[in-house]
Amino acid sequence: MAEIVRRPVLLGDDLWVDAVVGYRAWHVTIDRGVATMTAAVAKEWVWPKASPLKACCTPLEPIGRYLAARIGDHPAPRSGCKCGIWAFDSPDKVAEVFHDRVYLLGEVALWGKIKVHRLGYRAEYAQPIAVYEPSGTWPGRFWEAARIQASIVARQYEVPLVQRPAPEIILP
Amino acid sequence: MSGMNPSNVQIGEEERTIEVTPEPIPRERPAEAPVEAPQPDRVPAGV
């Protein structure tokens, strides 16, 4: 488990939260200039713009449906289920699983009830707080299109477009 | 190889639960009306 990173985040005019920072990947579509971020795995989940996403237990895959049916209705996240908003605990881990040639990577603020796992989190609330510039070294036109797409997402979701932190080097 | 099978994403075993609760933003107290400094008693000139 990496060290838990915290960052203060404003939630409207009256509230703030010392949120846990998680690292995620999204699918991005841009239709007539409107960007939409959906979860990288559960693609039906649309992330709202500049407002929090609240978790609920609606498993889409067979194992999740089996677990949820066995436990019964419950608020997310719950122990013994897979529900909640998933995030890794380091930018390196998300980049190992999701290549930024296909996915947009970035950072989310997590709060509410949070299940801390060995490699990441399942949270009750989440909101993007930054998206990463595509780091690709593939041919220029593709890279440029990916970068433009990321900048449109950043503007419409009201988050900064930043460079992904350099990979951590662990000495033997 | 990276990015090959994201549907099998794993975050490992659950270790513990934490609660992170939003808090109200502390507000500054409204500025109080300035209080006039007491004027020294006027002393007639030449005294």
Q: What is the pLDDT of residue B41?
A: 60
Q: How far apart are the first and last CA of chain A?
A: 18
Tens digits of pLDDT across chain A (172 residues): 778 999 999 988 899 999 999 999 999 999 999 999 999 887 788 999 989 999 988 766 677 677 777 777 789 999 988 889 999 999 999 999 998 888 999 999 999 999 999 999 999 999 999 999 998 766 678 888 899 999 999 999 999 999 999 887 777 7
Is A38:A46 a contact under the CB 8 Å cutoff? yes
Closest CB to A114 among B2, B6, B18: B18
Burial of residue A34 (number of CB atoms within 10 Å: 0-12, 13-18, 19+) = exposed
Q: What is the pLDDT of residue B4?
A: 41
Q: Is the Cβ pair B21, A111 closer than 8 Å?
A: yes
Q: Is the Cβ pair A10, B25 closer than 8 Å?
A: yes
Q: What is the pLDDT of residue A142?
A: 82
3 state SS of A155: helix
Nearest-CA distance B31 → chain A (Å): 20
DSSP letters, A128-153, are: EEEEEPP---S-HHHHHHHHHHHHHH
Q: Is A118 left (phi over 0), alpha (psi -120 to 50) or beta?
A: alpha
Separation of alpha carbons A142 and A148, rounded Å: 10
Closest CB to B23 among A16, A114, A122: A16
Q: What is the pLDDT of residue A162?
A: 96
Burial of residue B14 (number of CB atoms within 10 Å: 0-12, 13-18, 19+) = middle
Closest CB to B22 among A1, A11, A101: A11
User: What ipTM describes this predicted complex?
Assistant: 0.84
Q: What is the pLDDT of residue A13?
A: 85
Separation of alpha carbons A66 and A10, rounded Å: 37
How many contacts, defined by CB atoms under 8 Å, are there between A and B? 86
DSSP letters, A64-127, are: HHHHHHHH-S-PSS-TTS--SEEEESSHHHHHHHS-TTTSEEEEEEEEEEEEEESSEEEEEEEE
Q: Band the pLDDT of B3: cuts 50, 70, 90.
A: very low
Q: What is the pLDDT of residue B30?
A: 62
Q: What is the pLDDT of residue B36?
A: 65
- With beta carbons under 8 A apart, name residues in chain A contacting B15: 1, 116-118
Q: What is the pLDDT of residues A111-126, one digit of tens each?
A: 999 999 999 999 999 9
Q: What pTM, to 2 d.p., does this model score?
A: 0.83
Q: Which residue has the higher pLDDT, B2 or A19?
A: A19
